[in-house]
Amino acid sequence: MFVLFALIVAWVAMKLSSQFYMADLQLRSQATLSVQAAGLEKYLDKYRLLPPLLAQRSDIVRILADNEHERGQNVAKVIAGMSGAQEVWFQKPEGEIVASNLIEHASVAGLGVSSYGDALQAARQGRLGRQLVLSRNGGAASYVFIAPVRQGEQDYGFIAVRVSLEEVEQNWALSKDRLVAVDQNGIVVATNQASWRGERLDAERTARNGRAAGEQNGVIDRRWEDQDFQLVRLNPPLNKTNFQMIEQDLPVLNWQVVLFADTAQVRQQAIWAALVAVLLCVVSSGLFWMAGERRRRLLERMRQDKDYAERLEARVHERTRELSTMNALLAQEVREREVAEKELQHAQAGLVQSAKLATLGEMSAAISHEFNQPLGAIRTHSENAQVLIESGKSDRALKSLGKIVAMVERMAAISQILKGFTRKAGRDLMPVKVSAVIDEVLMLTGPRCKQMGVNLEVVQDDKSIEVLAGQVRLSQVLMNLMGNALDAMKAQDGPLIRISVLREEQQAVIRFEDNGPGVPDNVAASIFDPFFTTKDVGEGLGLGLSIAFKIIKDLEGELRYEQSELGGACFVIVLQDAAALSGDPKEKEIEYGRMGD
């Protein structure tokens, strides 16, 4: 299909280009032909006037009249030399040659009247005779002009001038086109192709003369009729191309000048045009194919992109659905967790409270002892007071009553602390005096310490140190640490507990140390874990330290274990120093915005 198309395009290009170049060639050839034909005409025209003019000369009349051979020869030579004519001769009316510038054998005149008889005939009739004389030895043809030499009624003879057409042929030889001048019989009289001299020009004329076309060394093989010119093939074929044949008539001479322009170049140009057309065809169809291919690929990619986008959209829908479901599940889970957290918080609060009460429970024996002792004393002092009052010793009775009041106040203070301690802890932070909390704890644990004979050391240079905490929560932590220390030192000789309070930069550090066995390294990492205990069943739940840890964390502080210098355990509580925050907006909040626990 493509090949057919390319062939058609090539053919059209070839046709158009050959038409164009043919027209161009014709134009140029036409111009050349006009110039060369005019040249030929002018050349012969120049000599046409020469014999009539010379016939007027008296010396020429005399030469003929007196038969002056030698003089005639000289004059003829001078005329030939000056005019450029090939031959000049003088002839008597009877035909006898008086003189010629050439020696006999080279002279046309010498050939006899037969070769220029027509011209002579015309001259006899008083006209200018003219005749073409073909060369017999293959040379250039000549043209003879003969004029009668007359004076009055007296006929002296003729003067003839022969001009060779060689000069014209030499001029034509410069042209690259083939030029031919043919006479009325179609015989080549002048040409720039030496071998064509004397031949007949076309087949038609050749046939008429009884010679078959092609047999001869002829000129024309065939003819093509075209619009403005004829295309011919020359015989013998010079090459495979045709020649553009353009003719121009020379009416005066009754000749025709014919120009054969070689169309090889036209053919070459047409072939080039066809090649360029085919090339363009190939290139443009290549480009077309590439564009088509690109478009096809683009469409394919667009289709793939669309497919991909659709698949992606479907996946996104699916994922969105999944995510929505998951979201709903998560929301449900969050709700459940919130409920669980609330329950946990509730349980934790309960646990803290329980742990606190458990600590109290542990100390209840000692506390009840603490209460029993003053109660017994109060009873004794009351009875004493009774007796003393009855016996009228009221001043001594007053003393006993005073002791009773002091003991009741002490019991009231203990019960007040107990009441406070058993209260549920709050959640806010407020400045809490550390020394007060330590006093409280010592008062609550005092009876047990006393029972165990524990040596208590409180190292506190500045008793005014306040930390951000909650009173009950901090005392619960210290109570727990105290309980653990006492538990650990059950079998300790000379048990010692040291509580020291220090200010370090913006923090307050409470160190709680004992000289018990301490915590072995392998369990030290676990003691803050819930339900971790080394105590026997029924003695500990393993919650005390984990609760204490959580409480301190809630107070934005830190609780850690270290080994004590005393040989036992050391629990370090780091809390924010309330005084360090003075001037801080937080302080105002603490002072006015919060309720302590």
DSSP for 475-517, please give it: HHHHHHHHHHHHHHTTT-SS-EEEEEEEEETTEEEEEEEE-S-
CB of 499 to ligand ADP, least distance (A): 12
Give whichever of 9 and 566 is closer to ligand ADP, judged by the CB atom. Answer: 566
Rule CB under 6 A: say whether 346 interacts with ligand ADP. Answer: no
Considering the complex, state which of residue 97 and residue 527 has its C-beta at the smaller distance from ligand ADP.
527
Please report whether residue 545 would count as binding ligand ADP according to CB under 6 A: yes
Q: Which of residues 32 and 515 has its CB atom nearest to ligand ADP in the complex?
A: 515
Closest by CA position to 475, among listed 356, 345, 348: 356
Identify residues 487-506 at the interface with ligand ADP (CB under 6 A). Answer: 488
Quote the CA–CA distance of 348 and 360 in Å, as a whole number. Answer: 18
Question: Please, what is the minimum distance in Å from the beta carbon of residue 539 to ligand ADP?
Answer: 7
Contact status: 514 vs ligand ADP (CB under 6 A): yes
Q: How many helices, marked H, and strands, marked E, lie in the chain? A: 14, 18
Assess contact for 55 and 159: CB atoms under 8 A: yes
Give dist(CA 395, CA 400) in Å, integer.
9
Select 102 or 543, whichever has its Cβ closest to ligand ADP.
Answer: 543
Q: What is the DSSP letter of 200?
A: B
Candidates 67, 171, 534, 563; binder of ligand ADP (CB under 6 A) is: 534
- Strand 496-504 relative to strand 455-460, pairing: parallel
For tokens 């309330």, what's the residue? Answer: 578
Separation of alpha carbons 231 and 224, rounded Å? 5
Q: How far is the CB of 460 from ligand ADP (least distance, A)?
A: 20
Q: How far is the CB of 538 from ligand ADP (least distance, A)?
A: 10
CB of 488 to ligand ADP, least distance (A): 3
Q: Name the minimum Å distance from CB 331 to ligand ADP.
A: 37
Q: Does residue number 542 form part of the binding site for ligand ADP (CB under 6 A)?
A: yes
User: Which CB, 376 or 517, lies closer to ligand ADP?
Assistant: 517
User: Which residue of 484, 492, 515, 576 would you call a contact of ligand ADP, by CB under 6 A?
Assistant: 484
**Which residue lies nearer to ligand ADP by CB, 397 or 488?**
488
Nearer to ligand ADP, 354 or 534 (CB): 534
To the nearest whole angstrom, how small is the minimum distance from the Cβ of residue 545 to ligand ADP? 3
Smallest distance from ligand ADP to CB 483, Å = 7
Q: According to the binding rule CB under 6 A, does residue 358 interact with ligand ADP?
A: no
Contact (Cβ atoms closer than 8 angstroms) between residue 114 and residue 100: no
Q: How many residues in total does the chain contain?
A: 597
Q: Which is nearer to ligand ADP, 189 or 548 (CB)?
A: 548
Q: Which is nearer to ligand ADP, 125 or 522 (CB)?
A: 522
Question: Which residue, 259 or 519, has its beta carbon nearer to ligand ADP?
Answer: 519
* Gap between the Cα atoms of 92 and 76, Å rounded: 15
Q: Shortest gap between Cβ of 546 and ligand ADP (angstroms)?
A: 6
In this structure, is the dihedral angle defined by the CA atoms of residues 270, 273, 275 and 281, taken in order, positive or negative? negative
Edge-first strand listing for the sheet containing 142-151: 97-100, 87-91, 154-164, 142-151, 129-133
**Options 540, 559, 574, 577; binder of ligand ADP; rule CB under 6 A:** 540
Identify which of residues 61 and 352 has a Cβ nearer to ligand ADP in the complex: 352
CA atoms within 13 A on the CB side of 33: 23
Other beta carbons within 10 Å of 558: 14
Nearer to ligand ADP, 237 or 520 (CB): 520
* Binding-site size, ligand ADP (CB under 6 A): 23
Can you say whether residue 260 is alpha, beta or left, with left for phi > 0 and alpha for psi between -120 and 50 degrees? beta
Q: Does 263 bind ligand ADP (CB under 6 A)?
A: no
Q: Is 441 in the site for ligand ADP (CB under 6 A)?
A: no
Please tell me whether residue 533 binds ligand ADP under the rule CB under 6 A: yes
3-state SS assignment for residue 231: strand
Q: Which stretch binds ligand ADP (CB under 6 A): 57-65, 361-369, 420-428, 526-534?
A: 526-534
Q: How many of the other CB atoms lie within 10 Å of CB of 84?
A: 12
User: Of the candidates 544, 550, 551, 590, which one interacts with ligand ADP according to CB under 6 A?
Assistant: 544
Tell me the DSSP string of 314-340.
Answer: HHHHHHHHHHHHHHHHHHHHHHHHHHH
Q: Is 179 in the site for ligand ADP (CB under 6 A)?
A: no
* The one segment of 115-123, 434-442, 527-535, 587-595 that binds ligand ADP by CB under 6 A: 527-535
Q: Is 563 in the site for ligand ADP (CB under 6 A)?
A: no
User: Judged by CB, which is closer to ligand ADP: 500, or 534?
Assistant: 534
Q: Are 190 and 168 in contact (CB under 8 A)?
A: yes
CA distance 176 to 25: 12
Q: Which amino acid is at 158?
A: F
Q: Residue 59: which of 100, 90, 83 has the closest Cα?
A: 90
Amino acid (one-letter) located at 89: W
**β-strand pairing of 455-460 with 466-469:** unpaired
Q: How far is the CB of 527 from ligand ADP (least distance, A)?
A: 4
The region of 60-68, 233-241, 298-306, 510-518 touching ligand ADP under the rule CB under 6 A is 510-518
Among 15, 319, 535, 588, binds ligand ADP (CB under 6 A): 535
Contact 421, 360 (CB under 8 A): yes
Contacting range for ligand ADP; rule: CB under 6 A; set: 17-25, 254-262, 320-328, 542-550: 542-550
Q: Kindly state the helix (H) or strand (E) to which residue 572 belongs, with its residue range.
A: strand 569-576
530/548 Cα distance (integer angstroms): 11
Which positions lie near ligand ADP, rule CB under 6 A?
Answer: 480, 484-485, 488, 514, 516-519, 527, 532-535, 540-546, 568-569
